[in-house]
Amino acid sequence: MTKMSCLLGLSMCFLFFALVASSKFEELFQPGWAMDHFVHEGDLLKLKLDNYSGAGFGSKSKYMFGKVTVQLKLVEGDSAGTVTAFYMSSEGPTHNEFDFEFLGNTTGEPYSVQTNVYVNGVGNREQRLNLWFDPSKDFHTYSIFWNQRQVVFLVDETPIRVHTNLEHRGIPFPKDQAMGVYSSIWNADDWATQGGRVKTDWSHAPFVATYKDFEINACECPTPVTSIDNAKKCSSSEDKKYWWDEPMLSELTLHQSHQLIWVRANHMVYDYCADSARFPVIPAECVRHHH
């Protein structure tokens, strides 16, 4: 396994010290709400949404730096009004958060994925793209990679978004709060599909999102522990070398950069950095890096 494969196809990296958790749902996660909307079928986990409730789960531990991955098959058929989310988040009013939000649509229309990044409790960094495949027909892999230099959102190992550390320009970067890993399905027909114009058709319920192959390869942080101690624990030193601190992972490879350019050119439908009506003054992190 090459060093770069730690990011490009990570299941386990033997070259660097790592804290690895990779296996079954019940080993990594616990239901958060609506237990009666969970269905276990062998290695598959299904979350159901009906007009009574959605469902959600969260990781048993919190993590700082590394990579989290899930294989997910989204709601089939008419999924308008529904949102399935896979995300990382810390807690409190100044929390950090990395979001995948999959926005359902009417039958035949493209499924959209919206990403967002919260730093110190502030979000409003939405990007939205139409996927280049139908994510309801088969399982696809969705990942968040995080180190002190960048946050990378990946779909089938193709980067679709990079949030770069620009602290040298006075822009805060999320690197001092451990995060849980979460997923949920819920009704958001006030905004999710075509700006809320298309509502959820409950005659098609239950809406089902199906999961498998949960993987967390990251630095596990015991709680309660101060953020300073967590940051120190999860950063490489002379005594330990974490794979996510490998210099080659401080930025995208040339191939990945080309993939990201392709995604943005062919599939992006909204970028907060280009929304001058919403942001008359361009956000600071967008001035040079449109990620």
User: Which tokens hold the place of 281?
Assistant: 């003054």
Residue 114, CA distances (Å) to 83, 103, 134, 268 in order: 10, 7, 15, 10
Q: What is the dihedral of CA 53, 89, 230, 62, to 10 degrees?
A: 30
Please report the sign of the dihedral spanned by the C-alpha atoms of residue 133, residue 135, residue 140, residue 144. Answer: positive
- Whether 97 is a known active-site residue: answer yes
Task: Answer whether 178's CB lies under 8 Å from 218's CB.
Answer: no
Residue 205, CA distances (Å) to 32, 38, 82, 263 in order: 21, 15, 11, 32
Distance CA(255)–CA(263), nearest Å, equals: 13
Q: Which of 41, 97, 238, 251 is catalytic?
A: 97
From the number of C-beta atoms within 10 Å of its C-beta (0-12, 13-18, 19+), residue 14 rates as: exposed
From the number of C-beta atoms within 10 Å of its C-beta (0-12, 13-18, 19+), residue 236 rates as: middle
Q: Which of 41, 91, 101, 109 is catalytic?
A: 101
Q: Is 236 left (phi over 0), alpha (psi -120 to 50) or beta?
A: beta
Task: Answer whether 234's CB lies under 8 Å from 35's CB.
Answer: no
Beta-bridge mates of residue 56: 33, 184
Task: Answer whether 139's CB lies under 8 Å from 71's CB.
Answer: yes
Task: Answer whether 248's CB lies under 8 Å from 3's CB.
Answer: yes
- Whether 101 is a known active-site residue: answer yes
Residue closest to 102 by CA, chosen among 77, 132, 82: 82
Which residues are tagged catalytic?
A: 97, 101
